[in-house]
Amino acid sequence: MLNHTTPEQQRRLVTEMPGSRSAELDRRRLEAVAHAVTPTLPVFIESGGQGILVDVDGNHLIDFGSGIAVTNVGNAAPAVVRRVQEQAAKLTHTCFLLAPYESYVAVCEELNQATPGDFVKRTALFNSGAEAVENAVKFARSFTGRNAVVAFEHAFHGRTNLTMALTAKYDPYKSGFGPFAPEVYRAPLSYPYRDGQTDGVAAAERTIAYLDKQIGGPNVAALVIEPIQGEGGFIVPAEGFLPRLQQWCNEHGVVFVVDEIQAGFARTGKMFASEHFGIEPDLVVTAKGLAGGLPLSAVTGRAEIMDAPQKGGIGGTYAGNPLACEAALGVFETIRSEGLLDRAAWIGSVIRPQLEHLQETLGIVGDVRGIGAMQAIEFVDPVTQVPAPEHAAAVAQACHSAGVVVLVAGTYGNVIRLLPPLVIPEDLLREGLEVFTRAITERDALVGLTG
Ligand X SMILES: *Cc1c(COP(=O)(O)O)cnc(C)c1O
DSSP at 176: T
Binding residues for ligand X restricted to 152-191, rule: CB under 6 A: 156-158
Residue 403 has, within 13 A of its CA and on its CB side, a CA count of 23
For residue 188, whether the previous peptide bond is cis, meaning omega lies within 30 degrees of 0, is no
The reply to whether 63 sits near ligand X by the rule CB under 6 A is no
Q: Provide the minimum distance between the beta carbon of 230 and ligand X in the complex, in angstroms, as a whole number.
A: 4
Distance CA(291)–CA(331), nearest Å, equals: 6
Neighbours of 205 (CB within 10 A): 15
Q: How far apart are CA 367 and CA 83, in angstroms?
A: 42
Near ligand X in 276-315, by CB under 6 A: 287-288
Would you call 368 helix, strand, or coil by DSSP? strand
Closest approach, Cβ 97 to ligand X, in A, equals 21
Between 60 and 417, CB nearer to ligand X:
417
Q: Is 230 in the site for ligand X (CB under 6 A)?
A: yes
Question: What would you report as the CA-atom Rg of the chain, rounded to the nearest whole angstrom?
Answer: 22
Scan residues 365-404 and list those touching ligand X (CB under 6 A).
Answer: none
Residue selected from 110, 153, 226, 280 as contacting ligand X according to rule CB under 6 A: 226
List the x/- string, 185-224, binding to ligand X by CB under 6 A.
----------------------------------------
Contacting ligand X within 116-135 (CB under 6 A): 128-130, 133
For the segment 76-105, give every residue that binds ligand X (CB under 6 A): none
Q: CA 364 to CA 391: how far, in whole Å?
A: 8
CB count in 10 Å sphere of residue 449 = 11
CB neighbour list of residue 235: distance below 8 Å, 6 or more residues apart: 154, 189, 190, 191, 228, 229, 369
Please state the closest distance from residue 133 (CB atom) to ligand X, in A.
6
CA quadruple 227, 229, 230, 233: dihedral positive or negative?
Answer: negative
CB of 127 to ligand X, least distance (A): 8
Residue 262 in the binding site for ligand X (CB under 6 A)? yes
Q: Does 411 bind ligand X (CB under 6 A)?
A: no
Binding to ligand X by residue 261, rule CB under 6 A?
A: yes
> Measuring CA to CA, which residue among 226, 148, 234, 153 is closest to residue 187?
153
- The site for ligand X, by CB under 6 A, has a size of 15
**Cβ closer to ligand X: 122 or 159?**
159
Residue ranges that bind ligand X, judged by CB under 6 A: 128-130, 133, 156-158, 226, 230-231, 259, 261-262, 287-288
